[in-house]
Amino acid sequence: MESVQAIKQRFGIIGNDVKLNRAIEKAIQVAPTDISVLITGESGVGKEALPKIIHSLSHRKHGKFIAVNCGAIPEGTIDSELFGHEKGAFTGATQTRSGYFEEADGGTVFLDEVGELPLTTQVRLLRVLENGEFLKVGSSKTQKTDVRIVAATNINMFEAIKKEKFREDLYYRLSTVEIYLPPLRERKDDIHLLFRKFASDFAQKYKMPTIRLEEAAIQLLLKYRWAGNVRQLRNIAEQVSVLEQNRTISYDTLKSYLPDAGSNLPAVIKHTKSDSDFSSEREILYKILFDMKSDLNDLKKLTMELMKDDSNGEKVQKENKTLINKIYGEESEIDYANTEDEDVMEILQVEHQKSLPEPPQEKEDKYHFAEEIQEEETLSLQDKELELIKKALERNKGKRKAAASELGISERTLYRKIKQYDL
């Protein structure tokens, strides 16, 4: 039995991906039998090489190999193409004609795009598969043929069956063995290999030096979705090879050839997703920290109020000087005169702001000694808080109520933050 490597060489198949090798191995194994094979996989993955491999490794190799593109033949003529017709079977049928199944007797018929076959043709095909019998169009005389059928499709056959576009019994007949070729994006290690091969082929063809990809461009190649698989990769390699003067291809140059490169990068999307997962996790943590900081400040304020209102306030202060210093800072002193009601202050500030924007330094919280925690990490926390607020406002198109509820803070607090950050 010929090795997978030898077959790849013989049929010009590039790649070392395990799944690709497995598919070729399966084709080699099934080739000597007469089992029907269905090759599946997205468009452009390289399905067409497999029926040829199967035929050439079978005992039918000296027989005919007829490839029929079922999707390209009009519905009105497909039965006649496949099974032939009798003279006078329809207008224009001036003489009897044999179809592909008769022609390929002793050989292989490759039904490409088999999912496109009309239902009536599917019935005829089922019969051939069951007992090798068929009828020419316009004839009632059963004929026999000895044909091995290999079919291929890039559509989801289960969907087609569900939509009653494809007969389930025929599907099971055709797919006694199914060979699946995975999309190119799942064969990452083969992408650059294929590109280099195509680039070298096109350089030869167009008599130009071979293009070479910069590292970032290689990464882009690997991340791209390749919806058109190897066919698309080949086209891109050809375009770049022909059109680019500079034979060293940068990320940006390559990107300009890739349709939807921005939105069509699963790896990048995945990356962004995990990044955003991470950042949303971080956001949650930051939010918890802000909430804690805000709770702490509220507690400080509350304590302050209590100490202020409490007739024993001064006594409490004296007795807890160390603790108070620890919480409010060494220099802190409770400014009784300045501990007005926060709401009143806020309203005043709102009105004041309406008529005359305040310079940022004047927007100090009256409990500045409680708020002014100057550690660097707090500053970066503030940056993050600012970022969160900006994002929430953006997401909610500036609607503060919605933004506040998203941030889990009151509208009033949000307003205070907006002023604090001069937003």
Residues that bind Mg ion (CB under 5 A): 48
Taking the least distance from each CB to ligand ATP, the nearer of 27 and 304 is 27
Element spanning 135, H or E:
strand 133-135
Specify the length of the chain in residues.
Answer: 423
- Angle at which helix 411-420 crosses helix 342-355, to 10 degrees, equals 50
Query: Distance between CA 155 and CA 116 in Å, rounded?
Result: 9
CB of 167 to Mg ion, least distance (A): 22
- Please tell me whether residue 276 adopts helix, strand or coil conformation: helix
Taking the least distance from each CB to ligand ATP, the nearer of 211 and 407 is 211
Residue nearest to Mg ion (CB): 48
CB of 50 to Mg ion, least distance (A): 10
Taking the least distance from each CB to ligand ATP, the nearer of 46 and 107 is 46
Query: Distance between CA 76 and CA 371 in Å, rounded?
Result: 82
- Interaction partner, residue 265 (ligand ATP, Mg ion, none; CB < 5-8 Å by kind): none
- Interaction partner, residue 231 (Mg ion, ligand ATP, none; CB < 5-8 Å by kind): ligand ATP
Taking the least distance from each CB to ligand ATP, the nearer of 14 and 222 is 14
* 204, 20 contact by CB (below 8 A): no
- Interaction partner, residue 183 (ligand ATP, Mg ion, none; CB < 5-8 Å by kind): none
* Closest listed residue to residue 45, CA positions, set 218, 201, 220, 232: 232
CB of 226 to ligand ATP, least distance (A): 11
- Interaction partner, residue 234 (Mg ion, ligand ATP, none; CB < 5-8 Å by kind): ligand ATP
CB of 263 to ligand ATP, least distance (A): 22
Query: Distance between CA 21 and CA 179 in Å, rounded?
Result: 11
Taking the least distance from each CB to ligand ATP, the nearer of 71 and 266 is 71
CB of 17 to ligand ATP, least distance (A): 9
Query: Distance between CA 82 and CA 99 in Å, rounded?
Result: 5
- Please tell me whether residue 284 adopts helix, strand or coil conformation: helix
CB of 20 to ligand ATP, least distance (A): 6
CB of 117 to Mg ion, least distance (A): 15
Residue nearest to ligand ATP (CB): 46
| Binding region for ligand ATP (CB under 6 A) | 12-15, 41, 43-49, 154, 194, 230-231, 234
* 124, 164 contact by CB (below 8 A): no
Taking the least distance from each CB to Mg ion, the nearer of 47 and 417 is 47
* 239, 257 contact by CB (below 8 A): yes
Q: Token digits for 170? A: 């025929």
Q: How many helices (H) and strands (E) does the chain have?
A: 20, 9
- Interaction partner, residue 228 (Mg ion, ligand ATP, none; CB < 5-8 Å by kind): none
Q: Token digits for 290? A: 């802000």
